[in-house]
Amino acid sequence: MNAVERLNTTKLNSIIMVKFFKYLLATFAGGIVAAFMLFIILFGMLSAMAALGDKETKISENTILLLDLNGPIVDRVIEDPIGDAIASATGSPTAEGLNRLLKNIEKAKRDENISGIVLESGMVQAGYATIEEIRNALIDFKTSGKFIYSFAPIYSQKAYYLASVADKVYLNPSGMLELKGMYAERTFFKKTLEKVGVEVQVFKHGKFKSAVEPFLLEEMSDPSRLQTKVYLNSMWDHVKAGIAEARGLTPEKVSALADEMPMFRSDDMLMASGLIDGLKYKDELISELKELVGVDEGDDLEAVKSSKYAKVYVSNDKGFIKDKVAVIFAEGDIDGTSSDGIKSDKLSKTIRKARRDSSIKAIVFRVNSPGGSALGSEIIWREVQLAQETKPVIVSMGNYAASGGYYISCAAEKIIANPTTLTGSIGIFGMIPNAEELTDKLGISFDGVKTNEFADMPSLTRPFRKEEKELLQAYIVKGYDTFIGRCADGRETSKEAIDKIGQGRVWSGVNALDINLVDEIGGLNRAIELAKEAAGLEESRIVELPKAEDPFEQFMKELTGEARMFVGKSILGAEYKYIQTLENLKNGYQIQARIPYNLEIK
């Protein structure tokens, strides 16, 4: 082949390649456009479904309210027909809201068309305090004379605690029931950090402030173990007593049964123990329910799920009520990296608007937070204090209201906690990593020029100098002094008194009542009652704040968060939560007021 032929061949190949990439890019672009158009069409269909979903639901006589609580339960769920439709199509569990559950249970108590409630909650995903509130609402429902049945193929211990209030607790003949006591576990990263050559430089105040321990130790310190033992036993004592009362047993008997690990025992043992009322298949349960409500065996049993029952209107015979009680929800880390956490600027604005709204006569501040940014906590505290000066503010604590979560609560007129709420943890800390050893291993060095003594502080590539340590520790001590001062003012006591029960120590709700960190044991409904009393209201209506997001915005936020979590979990599985912890360490505010990382109570 001569030079001309080679040149022609090269040109031909170039033309072919150009056309190939041209068509490839056109196809790729067309695919993107098609996918976008499909998304628009899908969103339009879902929006139409959402509009239809807003219509009032009608139910007939002898209907059963079905509470399927096998998915996650959050403090507040906002009606999201788009998300519900997608979850239904993909088979994913949708989150249920404590706010919706409490409303539905109270409404069902008054609804003549509701004959009773059936619980399907064997694998409930919620904290003990959340379960406590649902459980108390069910106990109140029973005063109507209507029945509650519970059925599950498997009961986790939390689920069984909830189910124990039912008139009948049934288990699948091949099912399992977990009752084993409580266990609190923490994960430690010290050796992992040593292997990669990262040192975590810690500054804290309070011997019980154990949030930093996972990065410094390989096991719990003695103070951390002591506080965990105290609040864990307090929680278990309460759960034992609740099961015992509901099932006609004694707390000692419940504890003895837990030691026998009934999950792996015979069916006869389960029946003889008094933990359940029978072993039934689903069809047998349905037949019993039909007989109970007077439905013929050949007819269908009418049932309505919680999400649909929320759209059922039941008159309260009170007409239009002008005066409002605002329930403001604060759930998640304070100024954390999570898109679903508490953003101090947004929450502060919400509280400020409620304070200025003359139709809102009282505020219930629902706090379910392990804490977070000390600065963010101070910003929110200020708005709570200003609101309290204008109208009654009652705090309702969820599963957690500790450290920063207690900080933002302490200015309220009254604080209501659940028995199993984890609260207190009054203290702050700072953590700044030093990756000098890691960069040395990688052969990376750093050099620079500064104009002033502390211009290069903080540095992630060298340890703190003596003067820098003293500065930062003094700042932590100052922050702690401010924290206990806020608590002392709010609780009408002295800094010295708060310091004795502070030092970062975590308390259960019951413990906190004994040491004047909270005023009463109760849930969200009780907090609303107290807010009405404090404002002198005989009747009022509830408004939930912040206002619900636009369904499309909410859908896109959830889609982004779910995609990120899906990728992480697909690669790392259950270990993904540890990466989240390290991510929070890297991206979170350096001065923190929060409880221990990854505290799991099983």
CA pair distance 276, 471, nearest whole angstrom:
60
168-177 β-sheet, strand order: 278-279, 168-177, 147-155, 114-120, 63-68, 303-305
Residue 403 is among the residues annotated as catalytic for this protein: yes
Angle between helices 222-247 and 128-141 (to 10 degrees): 20
CB-side neighbour CA atoms (13 Å) of 180: 14
One of 121, 348, 403, 409 is an active-site residue; which one? 403
DSSP letters for 74-92: ES-----HHHHHHHHHHTP
Residue 591's nearest CA partner among 424, 428, 381, 403 is: 428
The number of helix segments (H) and strand segments (E) in the chain equals 21, 22
Query: What would the two tokens of residue 97 be?
Result: 């809201």
Contact (Cβ atoms closer than 8 angstroms) between residue 424 and residue 517: yes
391 contact partners, CB below 8 Å, separation of at least 6: 355, 360, 361, 362, 363, 535
Instruction: Indicate the pairing of strand 591-594 with strand 429-434.
Output: antiparallel
One of 109, 158, 204, 209 is an active-site residue; which one? 209
Query: What would the two tokens of residue 316 be?
Result: 């309260």
CA pair distance 91, 55, nearest whole angstrom:
24
CB atoms under 10 Å from CB of 440, counted, come to 12
Residue 358 is among the residues annotated as catalytic for this protein: no
Question: 329 pairs with which residues across the strands?
Answer: 366
Q: Indicate if the alpha-carbon torsion angle 99, 329, 350, 77 is positive or negative.
A: negative
Task: Report which residue type is found at 406.
Answer: Y
Q: Which residues are catalytic?
A: 209, 403
